[in-house]
Amino acid sequence: MTVKRGPGRRPGSADTRGEILAAARRVFAEKGFDKATVRGIAREAQVDPALVHHYFDTKEGMFAAAMRLPLTPEVVVPALLDGPREEIGERLVRLLLEVTATPETREPMIALIRSAMTHEYAASMFREFVSNALLFRVADTIGVPHLRIEAAFAQMFGVVMARYVLRLEPMAGAEPEELVELLAPTIQRYFTP
């Protein structure tokens, strides 16, 4: 990969990736998800856009990394497509329960949701990322109408909130397999238009 160096541009260094992510967090916070650009983030980080592309394939991937979110279309889509279509609901429920079971991957998601619940600006960034970058891309790839993937999102969003934030029993202490059995048919139905 050729990296052009202009005035004020720095070459890749040990923590260039970290500097790009810090710049990305500032730019996303200032412009929101839709209006932020790879070019603008490169400028903020004082690096060449090609270097940003070297570390992050897509703006979605950079946002997820900057917000420390474990879920991107690149993670979700292959997991959904890897197996029989009639078990897609089960695979999604299992993936989401696994990702949220670990505090290291769960807490950044919950932090973003908390901000989105209480600040309109964070809500609009969450909305742009979740709907345009995550849900609609997954929905369009697997052929599910947008309203139906949002119904599935609402189900799993509610489960994660009830289990980890509100900590309603018996939901909070339920075994993952019990939840898979209960929830997978719901998601399967939304994904079978």
Interface residues with its own copies (CB under 8 A) are 113-114, 116-118, 123, 126-127, 130-131, 135, 146-148, 150-151, 153-159, 161-162, 165-171, 174, 178, 182-183, 185-186, 189-190
In the bound state with its own copies, the residue whose beta carbon lies nearer, of 7 and 170, is 170
CB 17 to its own copies: min, Å: 30
CB 79 to its own copies: min, Å: 21
Question: Which residues make Cβ contacts (< 8 Å) with residue 175, sequence separation at least 6?
Answer: none
In the bound state with its own copies, the residue whose beta carbon lies nearer, of 29 and 182, is 182
Query: How far apart (Å, rounded) are the C-alpha atoms in residues 61 and 56?
Result: 6
Q: Give the angle 186-90-123 at the CA atoms, nearest 5°.
A: 65
In the bound state with its own copies, the residue whose beta carbon lies nearer, of 12 and 32, is 32
* DSSP H helical ranges for the chain: 16-35, 38-45, 49-55, 59-66, 73-81, 88-101, 103-118, 120-127, 136-142, 146-160, 176-190
Q: Please, are residues 38 and 53 in contact by the beta-carbon 8 Å criterion?
A: yes
CB 117 to its own copies: min, Å: 5
In the bound state with its own copies, the residue whose beta carbon lies nearer, of 29 and 154, is 154
